[in-house]
Amino acid sequence: MKILLIDDSKTMRNIQKSVLTQLGYTQIEEACDGHDALAKVGTFGPELILCDWNMPNMDGLTFVKTFRQTNKAIPVIMVTTESEKARVIEAIKAGVNNYVVKPFTPDLLAQRIQETMAKRAAA
Amino acid sequence: MDPAFITPFITSIQNVFSTMMQLRVDIGTPAIKKDPAPTYDVSGIIGMSGDVTGSVTLSFPLATAKNVVALFAGAPLEPGTADFADAIGELVNMVSGNAKGQFTGGKKVAISCPSVVVGSNHLVARQKDVPCIAIPCKTDCGDLVIEIVIREVAGTGAVTPSQAAAA
């Protein structure tokens, strides 16, 4: 499965990439903000997107809103420090399919990915 | 500063360090810090805006920062490199983001992208009319300090943590 990782922190991308690799996902593309991600979705063709919220240039919420104007199918999991209920609702309304609050354990990230892909398969 | 703002940062740093690095954080006694200079050599700084404004700094001695970054990033990184700063920045981002999620009363607070300064004797400008609360932390990687300079913005209608606790 092709996964697009969007996070302005290289450290956080590496941590998530390491978890994904351990789970057997090896086709991973990285983007450092929403603009970078929008430029890469077309060429990379991800089947799942993991997206941070607070990023320079274009934040994750703006990315999701922009992306959802043209693509409603590819699941997006928000991986962020934004844990307030209002923020989670805002993200879901924008088109986010699932939500992981940082800090996270590898098991939690794996669980959210499995849930998200199972829902997509059942849809 | 409302003392109830301190607890979320204590809970948060313990949660972040334990979840991401399996690193226990023992908390010392918080105190008002009068010296304008950061306590140590490496500062990860993040701004807060909205119902609560100000800044939060994680201040590390260089040796502690190197140990913590090596654990967090999974490999030693050289201070002064972009990757080292990135790791410190992500830690202060997680600690602050996690803490603001614990503010009570439905406060709307945004956090900035983090800044990182490495070098002894640097100065971080902060709000003069708000006291700086320093929370000392001890870990197996060395000591560090959380410096909190935040205040609730008047007239937002948000409930202070003390009011919420009393309700």
What CATH number does residue B146 fall under? 3.40.1550.10
Q: For chain A, which domains are there?
A: 2-122 (3.40.50.2300)
The boundaries of the domain holding residue B101 are 3-154
Asked if B108 and A83 come within 8 Å (Cβ–Cβ), the reply is no
Do B94 and A101 count as a contact with CB atoms less than 8 A apart? Answer: no
Contacts of B16 in chain A (CB under 8 A): 102-103
Determine whether the interchain pair A81/B86 forms a contact, defined as Cβ–Cβ distance below 8 Å.
Answer: no
A-proximal residues of B, 67-96, CB under 8 Å: 72-74, 82-83, 86-87, 89-90, 93-94, 96
Q: How many CB pairs below 8 A link A and B?
A: 59
Contact A80 B93 (CB under 8 A): no
Give domain status of residue B118, yes or no: yes
Residue B142 lies in a domain: yes
Give the pLDDT score at B126.
74
What secondary structure, in 3-state letters, does chain B show?
CCHHHHHHHHHHHHHHHHHHHCCCCEECCCEEECCCCCCCCEEEEEEEEECEEEEEEEEECHHHHHHHHHHHHCCCCCCCCHHHHHHHHHHHHHHHHHHHCCCCCCCCEEECCCEEEECCCCCCCCCCCCCEEEEEEEECCEEEEEEEEEEECCCCCCCCHHHHHHC
Mutate which of A57, A84, A89, A107 to test chain B, going by most B C-beta atoms within 10 A?
A84
Of all residues in chain B, the one with the smallest CA distance to A84 is B101
Global ipTM: 0.90
| Residue scoring higher pLDDT (B125 or B72) | B72
**Mean pLDDT, range B29-57, rounded to an integer:** 91
Q: How confident is the model at residue A108 (pLDDT cuts 50, 70, 90)?
A: very high
Domain assignment of residue B136, yes or no: yes
pLDDT grade for B165, boundaries at 50, 70 and 90: very low
Pairing of strands A2-6, A48-51: parallel
- Domain count across chain B: 1
Considering the domain boundaries, does residue B160 fall inside one? Answer: no
Q: Which amino acid is at B29?
A: T
Arithmetic mean of pLDDT, B45-67: 96
- Please state the rounded mean pLDDT for residues B154-164: 49
pTM, entire model: 0.91
Task: Examine residue B161 and state whether it is found in any structural domain, yes or no.
Answer: no
